Amino acid sequence: MTGGRGIRVPAGAGQPPAGVPSGVPPAFHLLAKPTGSVCNLDCAYCFFLEKEKLYPGQRSRMSDEVLERYIRELIAAHRSPEVTIAWQGGEPMLMGLEFFRRAVELAHKYARPGMTVQHTIQTNGTKINGDWARFFAENGFLVGLSIDGPRELHDAYRRDKAGRPTFDKVVRGLAALREHHVQWNALTTVHAANADHPAEVYRFLRDECGCEFVQFIPIVERPTVDGVPHGGAVTVRSVGPEQWGAFLIGVFEEWVRRDVGEVYVQLFDVALANWYGEPAGLCVHSATCGSALALEFNGDVYACDHFVEPAYLRGNIRERPLAELIGAPEQLRFGRDKLERLPRYCMECDVRVACHGGCPKDRFTTTPAGEPGLNYLCPGFKAFFHHVDAPMRRMCELLREDRAPAEIVAEYAAAGTSAVDAADASATPPKASSR
């Protein structure tokens, strides 16, 4: 998630950090799962529900000991003036308000003088009420709300344990957030039920929900064996590669005509950064990864939220310092592999500097030449990045002229076409980030 006010810790709070290993980046992201895979919903496409098989017979609930160690070591390992304490699940709100009050207190206790602490939480929204919303507002939480579009599209797969729809509960939760002026983002998964309705989904989020920042996440679901994805087939709930590209193009065409600078679509911001030659800020479309890890309820640290699997277990924070796990050689190799294992087809692709091969979790298909390691969504990404090339170049021109990219909206209105005529051949092409 992006944005949020954060809480600035006054001078005198916390203690200076001890030295950290050289392999640890100045800032990193650790997604904590205090309830593990436990959730009050039973979303048909959720890849994390089966992770309960990793911890048979264990009570999936983070202890006070693990909570304090997590926050203390997370803050100590950061060499940047900002740190994000991020919660996800499962459904993290099942831990109850007192758990998160304690988390805020611990963050204040351990944060160094002048450090800004940002609290974020990703939730299905069904448990949000006035008490929760007031707590989020008072402590500067940024709330990610899972909502998949209008009622019929949202309820297609997002149901509770009894099979009942959840749309009304989510909308009530959103109303509480808005009433208390909580900063929030929409996390919208794109799947077989809503992928053919890009404009309807986007307009619902913008007009009916009042959303100003949205993340679109493609559902690519494979059969699992003991909770680990297996084989090259996908389920019927998964978005198709070309379908994914068409969805993004449909949303982009709506956005670029009226909402640039008003509504922030994560993937469009990431694309613009890559075109401009700046860090993308999202591991999926960065050259390398490895600095976004996952913490389970018992202190186990995994290489990535999408690789909570035995082969990617880095250790436990009760046994080794978090900084050592972040900077472990196998974790650094995991991050470099995103680039170094790209097939030749990707290395020679004309949109590689925008795509960077996508997420490694989805690299289970083969190239036209039969080389393994191609992203399942490749045709969609390629179609999208080709489609937005001219407007991205134009927005880069505007930025270099110290003008707002939002000026492109008026240019679209004047041109009356799906491509910006003003984006001439002299525009600078995408270039690789200096990272």
| Residues assigned a catalytic role | 305
Number of H helices, E strands in the chain: 15, 15
Q: Are 191 and 243 in contact (CB under 8 A)?
A: no
CA dist 93 to 22, 129, 273, 337, Å?
Answer: 35, 11, 33, 34
- Identity of residue 342: L
Cis preceding linkage at 250, omega within 30: no
Q: Are 24 and 121 in contact (CB under 8 A)?
A: no
Nearest residue to 60 (alpha-carbon basis) of 74, 46, 44, 39: 39
- For the record, the structure tokens of 340 come out as 């170094």
138, 80, 289, 142: CA torsion to nearest 10: 10
- For the record, the structure tokens of 324 come out as 């050592």
Q: 165: which DSSP letter? A: B
Complete DSSP assignment for 101-121: HHHHHHHHHHPPTT-EEEEEE
